[in-house]
Structure 1
Amino acid sequence: MDAAAGKLNATYITFGGHVELRRYRFLYFAVMFVVYVLIICSNSAILGLIWVQKSLHQPMYVFIAALLFNSLLFSAAIYPKLLADFLSDEQTTSLSQCSLQSFAYYSLCGAEFLLLSAMAYDRYVSICRPLQYGATMRKPTVAVLLALAWLLPACQLVPSLFISRGYRLCHSTLNGIFCNNAISQLFCMDSRAPYITYGAFIALNTIVLPLAFILFTYTKILIISLRGSGDTRRKAAKTCSPHLLVLVSFSCLCSYDVVAARLEVDLDRTARFVMTLQVVLYHPLFNPIIYGLKMGEIRSFPA
């Protein structure tokens, strides 16, 4: 009791979302370590191909490279701590470290949506306004889109680092295996309305609006493709299908994160554990596979 109180006073947080950790800790570690190595190798391989092959120095592939680099940053924010916890006797973190991990997690998730928006805009100009593509998608334009994709979500989340300092912890156990927005449930708050409003504002700017823009651009692309020739339809399907596949899968995982954490849905512990692992496993691991298989120029690059 005293030890728990001491930890609470010292603003330490315990992760309580692991399942049968003492029994399967080495299995969890081995599986997730292999996954992390695959994430690093696969994303780095595609990044390396795009870097060294001058024919791939085009906006579409630059955005793909940025998306894969974002996956590496996302994994680096989650996996090292997750792997350490699997082998530790206590799965704890400080409040400041937890806030920082949550900040990195959501800023990089927001960057993913904005990068997908930039990719959708690139495809829209390429397919719907091909004569204007060279003038529109210049290097400065691409650089600005990349900068905004990473800076906007991070800048919007900076206040969250200071908001958490204004509250004290009423609970010390987080119902998860890493820090996400469920951390708000641990604070002593008279009213959660301001926190929910702030979260809704961020979600609107980094998820809802980019998603609406992506759907709008792909609708326009679909209309133009149906009116065009067979070559136009094949080009649209070849370049847009990977983006749509990534968008759908990533949106579903983000929806789970919002529903499970923000709305405090009472899920079975094992189901929550498995789904949480999917959130940090799926898109960093499968994005390079999707783009490597679908993009002909990358797939045909000589060994």
Structure 2
Amino acid sequence: MTPPPSGPYDPTGPSGPWSDLERPPLNAAALRRALVTEDGLWTRLEVAGITGSTNADLRERAREGHAAAGSVLIAEEQTQGRGRLGRTWSAPARSGLFCSVLLTPGPAVPGTRWGWLPLLAGVAVADGVARVAGVRPALKWPNDLLVTVDGAERKLGGILAERTALADGTAAVVLGMGINVSLRAAELPVPEAGSLLLAGAPVTDRDPLLRAVLRSLADWYGRWRTEAGDPAASGLLEAYTAGCATLGRRVRALLPGGEELRGEAVALDGDGRLVIAAAGGGRQPVAAADIVHLRPDGG
């Protein structure tokens, strides 16, 4: 984990918890009391001040035997947050929720169905955010959350699932979630970014938002695991389809090898792949791609 800057500690300085009074620090003790329960999914919860990447930290802890299934790691500030395709991003301290959780779906869920985890997380985050913030994010396949700001689609956050293993060899997944909560217009890293604040959310208090998101994630994960990862039986397929802004849209899919596919996103298959009806005919399932929503005129 990245250490805090050296020198005298100043709670109101650039890295201090009270450097921006409109962005108070999370209450770690209260979060633990609310979320770490005897019969619940979450077994340990830690709030770090500043780190490079909560996903990287939790993966390392899992491999070294310092984190068990159900561990939750939250950072008040991430300096090297990672998304798909190796992209990195950062945000001002306490401007969002930067959180990773450690899950061991097997043996209840076959490994072939683990690809549904980032989609499950998207549904869970959207449900939790809508319940507290009063704004329901739309889902962009495979791992983005969208909100509307000034009439335009903007990226609210993203999800990154990475397979790893515990110290004893048990297969596991680190599921990372980043949500822009109070990011201001002048702080946007790119014009396509957004936040709950900019989307007009009446509530941007991160404590109840985080509680709602983690409770929703535990609920959806429990249902999915009870049904052996079956997306239809658990209700996940229906929920994701209902909230997905990609389905029914013309898209450009940039595939890992550099190939480009254009067409209409028409469905999800049983493995969570996006099925695209190509312009030249035929349907092609896509397991991994950078998806661009196209305007009706194809631009």
Query: Could you say whether these structures have the same fold, taking a TM-score greater than 0.5 normalized by the shorter chain as the test?
Result: no
TM-score (norm 1): 0.28
RCO comparison, higher one (Cα < 8 Å, 6+)? 1
Higher helix share: 1
TM-score (norm 2): 0.28
Higher strand share: 2
